[in-house]
Structure 1
Amino acid sequence: MTTTTTGKTPNTTSTSTQQSTNLFSYLLSLPPRVLLNLYSDNTNNTNTTNTNIAGRGIYACRAALQHLPPIARQYVLRLASCGGTLELEHCLKWCNAQYGNKHYSVVEAMERLCVIFCKEKDSNKEDKKVKVLQLTPQFLVGIQKSISSLQSAPWPAVDVQRLYSKTTLTLPNKTSKATATSTKTFTKLKLTVTSSSSSKVNKDLEKPPTANDLEIYTQRRWDSVLHYLVGSTDYGEEPPAAVTRFLEKTGLMQQDIGTNAHPNSTDASSLVITSKGYEFMLQDVHVQVWLFILQYLNQLESIKRCEEVRHEALIFLICLSYCQVGEAYPCSMLSRDGYKLCTDFSQFGLVKLYNVAGKSGDLKNKDTVYFYPTRVAVNLIAGSTAAVAHVGAPSVSSTRALEESLSAAVPGTSHLAIIVQTNFQLCAYTTSELHVSMLGLFCEESTFRRLPNVVFFKITRDSVKGAFRFGIEAGQILQFLKMNAHPRLRTGGQLIPSNIEDQILLWDRERHRVQMEEVYLLQCQDANEFEAVVQYTIDLGAHMWSNEHKNTIMVRYAQTESVMAYVQKFRARAAKKRRRGDIY
């Protein structure tokens, strides 16, 4: 028989939360010298030796300053303006007495990021030492240059749209070359394209992408990954081979045990989704991208130039965060490692490459290639945590792309708009089988109904419990519903009815409050047997419940044989004693 018992369940925290969740949590897991090297990177993103142009390290310093708590930012800016060193007792005066307890927490936060260090120096008044706060030399130089620099972006933006609009745009040949010169203001890169009668007009040149195009590009890139995860065949585009390898290395997919494939096989057709993969599907795109970046960074540890390439990858990711979505930047200003990283990150949807030589152009010639950072890349630092906390406020380009898709005669398959009603019915405007599969993870499949551009589901207790068994958390379900809420709902107060949100959270708490346990009900013959068996089951760890008035005991079903063996021995001894009593 089966009964319910109350008690706490073991921690069910996903393994994904035990690793770094963003760029800075990853940096904090590395040795301090890695951060200091980022702060002191004096390499500028130009092919010039102009000393007036600051190096890439200023963007690492800006990112660290942006990541610090507000009080810590005040400390940094004040220390930077007074030489970088000040006695601790003077720093304490920067905080009101009522907030003095926050002083040490912000100092600790700055120490973790290698922004400051504490030291002791001799006092002039007495023979004792005083504590001093000092900015690290690498960070001090970088933040001072950052404050005085007018350079907002790491690379000069290029007006590729203007070049495309010219009807005389031609491919350069031996007698006609494109030249690039940068101005002192470092705001735009001026390109002069000369033409010649012997040049061929570039007919296969694509139109430069807009901010909306980049949003669609990122969405399509990750839709292909999600389609591949669930084994869907209705999506024409497959993810690159490098992405499929990452899916297996990150534990999102594994070799199908039902096939005869070797465990170390590279055959992608034998891969199936894991419980971690189901959890991954409902994550925000920023979290999904970071998981791939983390795997990419970990993979760099196996190469000889690990430290050098990892430094280049980290500084490139930081610099991407200070670019503008929709702007083009020249790959010619990247180092050899930087350009290799750029092409690799394009497979993850971080950047989109654009070749002015057309589709037939060679990507190996980086002089004709430009990269467009996507919203995901720009938000790696500034928006990685905010995107999760404020899922109800997506970017303007994301909302505009969704509205355009919904207003089209045939809506695109890459967009999803959800309306959750108070009666637990879910309306989803989509034409994608992938989105239907994703909704089926926590909705009742038997309630599925379809119209040309909308599907209907019902959220039930059993369907949500089924999602929990896949390893999906209640917070992830709610975040997914809010993240994909219909644009019309964003003008109101709530994206999900409060009764729906509360009920999903209550269903989740049932897992931590009530646990089902299979037991065996044992009826004892008398009080002596009851007391002996209860003590034995407690010592054995098999005791679940007992009633001394009815002499009944419930024990774990898995340990029934051991308990019954003890009961039989006890009854045999009791019977032997009774026979001896009859004789005497």
Structure 2
Amino acid sequence: MSSSTLFKATVNEHLENLPKPIQSKLYEAPATCLSIYRLLPPMAKFFIMSMLFHDKPVAYKDLERICKPNTKKLQFEAFNRLKALHLIDEDQGRSHLKLHPIFKQNFRDCLTGSQASNAFGNLCTTADKHQVDVKFLDQFASQKWETILHFMVGTELGVDPSKSVLSLLKLGGLMEGPGTSPRNLKITNEGFQFLLQDVNAQIWTFLLQYLNLTQDLNMDPVDVLNFIFILGSLELGKSYTVSSLSATQVSMLADLKDYGLIYQRSDSSSRFYPTRLATTLTSESAALRSPSAAMEHALQSTTTAEGGDDASAIQNSVSAGIASAQGTVIIETNFKIYAYTNSPLEIAVLNLFVNLKIRFSNMVCGQITRESIRHALLNGITADQIIRFLETHAHPQMRLLAKEKLDKKIEFDTSHNINTAGGAPQSQVYGENGTVAQHKLEVLPPTVVDQIKLWQLELDRIQTFEGYLFKDFQNQQEYDYLSNYAQEIGVLIWGDKVKKKFFVTPEGMDQVAIFANRK
């Protein structure tokens, strides 16, 4: 397990930590109900839909019966999430479940179209004199957000972020320094970690810090959260009236404009436009990649190459992947990295954990070394964050080669199982992406991934975990029964069959105890 970081507190955990009365008040807004549903894991969504149109409580065993036997861990996590949000309550001696009544009614209305006409904002009925299209909104959002990131890495742009942004950077621990001058601010370890997050995670980090500030400004946190969730449900490219907003929400517009979430021509304008950064807050769609505009421009300029057939193939794949901007980084098994970008921000982020050696007009070359990774680790960046960043920004050609390799491996294993079983195909367990569960799409070379983790282990020789110890079992059968269940639901940290002891996470303690009492 990787050490906990500043960014572990996601929006889900923030919502779970809210008092139950505030959670119930949030569920009075249909847009919030829809957004919270979108943020839930697939299994939790499945349970909600299974109970949504039932007037009576649903039995635990009925929900478990319609799930596959090997999904106990997913069931455990889903039930925990729903209970933490108080979306479900136990009934009839803890054997049945029922949905939160306010959430149930409002979410039903969202699905059936019975919600109030202004539940998702009021569209402007008159045309805007100054044309605003999606391309303009993407450019505006990208420029605003990349200004913040460029400022954090120290790129000289001549334009500093607004005072509200600088205040959040300092209060959030992403930057530090004496006084109020922007030139005195320096990036912190948490700021380095922040740069490796995807854009949605970065936006939510800002918004959660903004929520903490609203309490000091005597702003209603429920009103602020509701408006954020409404933004996540609006339509990109459409304008919405300011008159339908509350006083708190109107005061938020200027700050949200500084973050690039909304566009408003002036502070007194009667309409505003949500940008892609806002409309993807609660969806699974990717927001503007960081740095999206610069990266796409760099890719579009890459149309010719010198070299053999391999270089030509790579260049062709670059051109083919321009529209979706799927990635720019190529990694070899010898730890060399090639990034097709001329963006100062992209290069600065890579420089956090890569020893860059050569820079061309549209590409940089470097190498991952023990020293470069240790430098990143000492700055608070984890191995998992580096690996996730490289996977997210991997070149389309790497993904294509990984997919071909996976298909060949699955085909070989399938034919091998048929031959060893005398012609009878063996049963397989399939994952969410349709591939066999024991196989994994390896976009990065396994040697690179393993070595990065090993370099982290050199620094993290001792790891500590919080949890509960189960011991003093009457016999081996009782130990095996409970430890196997703890392993199935994914809460087992350590176990010793000889001493008949095992250790579970704090979240799993109650579940294992309830299971023991029930059995």
TM-score over 0.5 for the alignment?
yes
Q: Which one of the candidate residues 149, 152, 163 is aligned to 2:113?
A: 149
Question: Which residue identity is paired with 1:479?
Answer: R
1:532 corresponding residue in structure 2: none
Q: Shift in Å at residue 17 of structure 1? A: 4.2
1:135 equivalent to 2:99? Answer: yes
Q: Shift in Å at residue 94 of structure 1? A: 4.2
Question: Which residue identity is paired with 1:217?
Answer: F
1:297 equivalent to 2:211? Answer: yes
What whole-Å deviation, never above 9, does each CA across 1:490-545 have from its counterpart, x for those lacking one? 44425433332222222222223499xxxxxxxxxxxxxxxxxxxxxxxxxxxxxx
Q: Shift in Å at residue 267 of structure 1? A: 2.5
2:144 corresponding residue in structure 1: 221
1:377 corresponding residue in structure 2: 278
| Aligned-partner Cα distance in 2 for 1:287–1:236 | 27
Question: Map of 1:148-547 to 2, 5 A cutoff?
Answer: 148-149=112-113, 154-155=119-120, 189-191=124-126, 205=130, 207-210=131-134, 212-233=135-156, 235-255=157-177, 261=178, 265-304=179-218, 306=219, 309-353=220-264, 355=265, 362-364=266-268, 366-367=269-270, 369-374=271-276, 376-383=277-284, 402-408=295-301, 417-445=328-356, 448-493=357-402, 495-513=443-461
Residues 424 and 96 of structure 1: is their aligned pair in 2 closer, same or farther, counting only changes over 3 Å?
A: same
8 Å Cα contact 2:31-2:120 kept in structure 1: no
What whole-Å deviation, never above 9, does each CA across 1:409-448 have from its counterpart, x for those lacking one? 8999xx9822223332222223333333322221225xx2
Residues 75 and 510 of structure 1: is their aligned pair in 2 closer, same or farther, counting only changes over 3 Å?
A: closer
| Aligned-partner Cα distance in 1 for 2:53–2:283 | 25
Residues 492 and 209 of structure 1: is their aligned pair in 2 closer, same or farther, counting only changes over 3 Å?
A: farther
What whole-Å deviation, never above 9, does each CA across 1:312-357 have from its counterpart, x for those lacking one? 111111112222333333333322222222321121122223x3xx
| Aligned-partner Cα distance in 1 for 2:381–2:46 | 40
| Aligned-partner Cα distance in 1 for 2:72–2:350 | 46
1:13 corresponding residue in structure 2: 3
- Kindly name which structure, 1 or 2, has the bigger radius of gyration based on alpha carbons: 1
More contact order relative to length (CA 8 Å, sep ≥ 6): 1
1:61 corresponding residue in structure 2: 33
Q: Shift in Å at residue 268 of structure 1? A: 2.4
2:25 corresponding residue in structure 1: 37
8 Å Cα contact 2:90-2:96 kept in structure 1: yes
> What is the root-mean-square deviation in Å for CA atoms of aligned residues?
3.7
Question: Which residue identity is paired with 1:96?
Answer: R
| Aligned-partner Cα distance in 2 for 1:328–1:147 | 23
SS at 2:263's partner residue? strand
Query: Any gaps of 5 or more consecutive residues in structure 2?
Result: 304-318, 403-441, 464-519
8 Å Cα contact 1:64-1:113 kept in structure 2: no
Once the two structures are overlaid, the 10-residue window that deviates more, 451-460 or 95-104, is: 95-104
| Aligned-partner Cα distance in 2 for 1:69–1:281 | 25
Q: Shift in Å at residue 274 of structure 1? A: 1.7
Q: Shift in Å at residue 296 of structure 1? A: 0.6
Identity of aligned residues (%): 28
Q: Shift in Å at residue 27 of structure 1? A: 1.0
Query: Any gaps of 5 or more consecutive residues in structure 1?
Result: 1-10, 41-56, 121-128, 159-188, 194-201, 256-260, 356-361, 388-393, 516-584
| Aligned-partner Cα distance in 2 for 1:132–1:507 | 48
8 Å Cα contact 1:215-1:397 kept in structure 2: no
Greater strand share, structure number: 1
TM-score of the two chains, using structure 1 as the length reference:
0.60
SS at 1:95's partner residue? helix
8 Å Cα contact 1:157-1:327 kept in structure 2: no
